[in-house]
Amino acid sequence: MTLPTAPYHHGDLREALIEAAVTSVRENGPDGLALRDLARRVHVSHNAAYRHFADRDDLVAEVAGRVMGKIVDSMQARLAQVRTRDPVLRARRRLAATGRGYVDFAITEPGLFRLACASLSAVSSTIAVPGRDPLVLLGEVLDDLVGVGFLTAAARIDAEITCWSAVHGFSVISIDGPLQGSTAKERTVALDRVLIAIDRSYAATTGSAIGVRDLLG
């Protein structure tokens, strides 16, 4: 049985509602999110909750924006593990790391991931700091590939769409599709194949020699 969220401290009701919403989505998925229920969790009237959020969509957009920041944290945790000094290999491994970090979050936080996916149009207007946007972080990593001569400038155009489509699709089929019952090892092997395919396609734009073992570390 889930214990109710502790009462909020005076002046922190908006933040308390957001934290309660994150907990609720983790427990029940995005469909179970309702302002009235959250108000009960933090021991206030539903009218008090509506003073901070116009409606459920307003709250969902705020929570989804926070989730995007958490995805960035997961991506950056993987990026921190890339330690090679070779500039080309480093850039290649950083691209693979962003993909792994994105999938890591989807696997460990499926409820929050589903909410963010269902709210992408609203999320774009809630992220005030670009550094908390996974798409911006991905773009910076792709720019590094161009900078080290591994990816051509022409192939760089809209490369975010290619990479995001691949890892996002992989994330979806991992939590709601045919890979749902896979072991962690099986999923890692399958994701490696996806990341290798992207790496090879980008190497081909500049004729770069690549080593798969190097990419996988």
- Of the CA atoms within 13 Å of residue 74, those in its CB half-sphere come to 19
Q: Is residue 60 part of a domain?
A: no
- pTM listed for this prediction: 0.86
- Please check whether residue 182 lies inside any domain of the structure: yes
| 188 domain residue, yes or no | yes
Q: Within this chain, do residues 151 and 82 fall inside the same structural domain, yes or no? A: yes
Contact call for residues 200 and 179 (beta carbons, < 8 A) = no
The pLDDT value given to residue 1 = 39
Same domain, 36 and 98: no
Work out how many domains the chain is built from and give that number.
2
Judgement on whether residues 119 and 46 belong to the same structural domain of the protein: no
Rounded distance between C-alpha atoms, residue 161 and residue 159, angstroms = 5
Residues 34 and 93 in one domain: no
Report if residue 179 sits inside a domain: yes
- Give the pLDDT confidence score for residue 217 in this predicted structure: 67
pLDDT at 4: 45
Q: Which residues contact 195 (CB under 8 A, 6 or more apart)?
A: 95, 96, 99, 100, 215
CATH number of the structural domain spanning residue 202: 1.10.357
Q: Which domain holds residue 102?
A: 65-216
Same structural domain, 29 and 85: no
Tokens 């992220």, residue located: 127
In terms of domains, do 151 and 200 share one? Answer: yes
Q: What pLDDT, on the 0 to 100 scale, is given for residue 120?
A: 62
Q: Does residue 70 share a domain with residue 42?
A: no
| Contact (Cβ atoms closer than 8 angstroms) between residue 19 and residue 5 | yes
Q: What is the pLDDT along the chain (217 residues), one digit of tens a residue?
A: 344 444 544 458 888 888 988 998 998 888 878 888 888 888 888 777 778 887 888 888 888 888 999 999 999 999 999 999 999 999 999 999 999 999 999 999 999 999 988 876 544 444 445 568 899 999 999 999 999 999 999 999 999 999 999 999 999 999 999 999 999 999 999 999 999 999 999 999 999 988 777 888 6
pLDDT in tens, 193-210: 999 999 999 999 999 988
